[in-house]
Structure 1
């Protein structure tokens, strides 16, 4: 892992440097939630480009867990990353008021999507104002599942993590030296208090990533996937149904144009699967 991790980081660094150079912009900005993906990307950008070319925006709402705020601030201060903290609660409340709604009356998914789009509006404000590119933080797992807000958290000028599954981002985070607390923190879009990705998706990311990898990268049938992984076929079906029904969301985004063979490092997935296939 160490050697391939180094290769991956170097390729990402070259990709980011070239993207920035070709754009004529002064750096990157991104939203930082204190979760795995945004924290990993923030540190990757800082280590690749230096402090002066990275601006992180911490954009809490009144429903944002205090612990996530603390994690985000602690991360940027530990890695010496520029940051701003802006409370978006007044914007959300004003938006809902204009629409004749309130936090209590509006559907929680609708409210979560509003928050994501307000955050992206603020991120693009700073990008325009400071001549920066927006770095989107979504990973390959979220992209394939359509587990993002259209024109919200998926929006960006560049998507550095879009070729990496969630479990691969976790490996990359360790390689970059992120705190273990952030690496192992349960993923959450933060749409409502206690919102956890794996609970909503119905399976742990370790399983989801393997299903997606086998279905898309290895082109196995759903039944073959269930047999290889030793999981219930219904779970595989539900994951694939989410992929298919959210095709319309993926049409707005293309994965970044850098290439490397890193797929075998999903928790040593390929080795274990190859053994089963041969056996």
Structure 2
């Protein structure tokens, strides 16, 4: 299927989901990365005046917020910025005596950030009677490269059936600014974080495996193990049988 047809079908799907839900707007967390930019652009097609992009820096690279802000000028998306540094500090001071500076790359600490962002997005969803639109793609979902009840907390996942390569193609036809398309993929949980280095494989290797089912043993082992370990992220909490 041509990528333009994919864009049109996703636009129609988002429109149908919004109408059936009775909601009036879309709420998207803008990270400055390509996935959130593509999702925001798709939502903008459906609700030009009721798509809200929320930028939520939390001890983040300042460049990420600047890149996210590009969408306001390029696509005309309503953008709001909520700085979560102080909120993060206060929460951390209540739950631990450990210093954040000594634990910057510790996921126990870093995953607080996307969970604060999820809370913020649902505030705006309630305020604007909207749906929170998630930004994870098939590649990330397969290996669990998202935070449970953080960026994994959403109402819709329009990119769930698209690998990373498809997202890049969508970005080009949706008018996503070049600086966003060209930047190295990163979850942005700490300065210098790199998706591919953290996973141990490239997105190309991962995409090829998902599309063909074939991969060299090293890639297959990494993907299969990440998929197994992250299974709990992709399902609702288990319930006991009726007694």
TM-score, scaled to structure 2: 0.92
Map of 2:130 onto structure 1: 132
CA shift digits 1:139-174 (9 cap, x unpaired): 001101011100000111111111111111011111
1:236 positional shift: 2.0
Task: Give CA deviations for 1:188-226 in whole Å, capped at 9, x if unaligned.
Answer: 1111110000000111101111112223xxxxxxxxx23
Show CA shifts across 1:115-152 (max 9, x none).
00000000001101221111011100110101110000
Which structure is larger by alpha-carbon Rg, 1 or 2? 1
Aligned to 2:100: 103
Residue 22 of structure 2 is aligned to residue 24 of structure 1: yes
Whole-Å Cα distance in 1 between the matches of residues 106 and 191 of structure 2?
Answer: 10
Superposition map of 1:1-279 within 5 A: 4-50=2-48, 52-62=49-59, 64-100=60-96, 101-106=98-103, 108-215=106-213, 225-226=214-215, 231=216, 233-252=217-236
Q: Is the 8 A contact 2:74 2:175 kept in 1?
A: no
Structure 1 residue ranges (4+ consecutive) displaced by more than 4 angstroms after TM superposition: none
Shift of 1:179: 1.9
Distance 1:188 1:77 in 2: 23
| Runs of 5+ unmatched residues, structure 2 | 238-243
Say which SS state the counterpart of residue 40 (structure 1) adopts.
helix
> Partner of 1:29: helix, strand, or coil?
strand
How many residues are matched? 235
Q: What is the root-mean-square deviation of aligned Cα atoms in Å? A: 1.6
User: Shift in Å at residue 105 of structure 1?
Assistant: 4.3
| Contact 1:141–1:164 (8 Å) recurs in 2 | yes
Query: Is the partner of 2:100 in helix, strand or coil?
Result: coil
Q: Helix, strand or coil: the match of 1:143? A: helix
Structure 1, unmatched stretches of 5+, are 216-224, 254-279
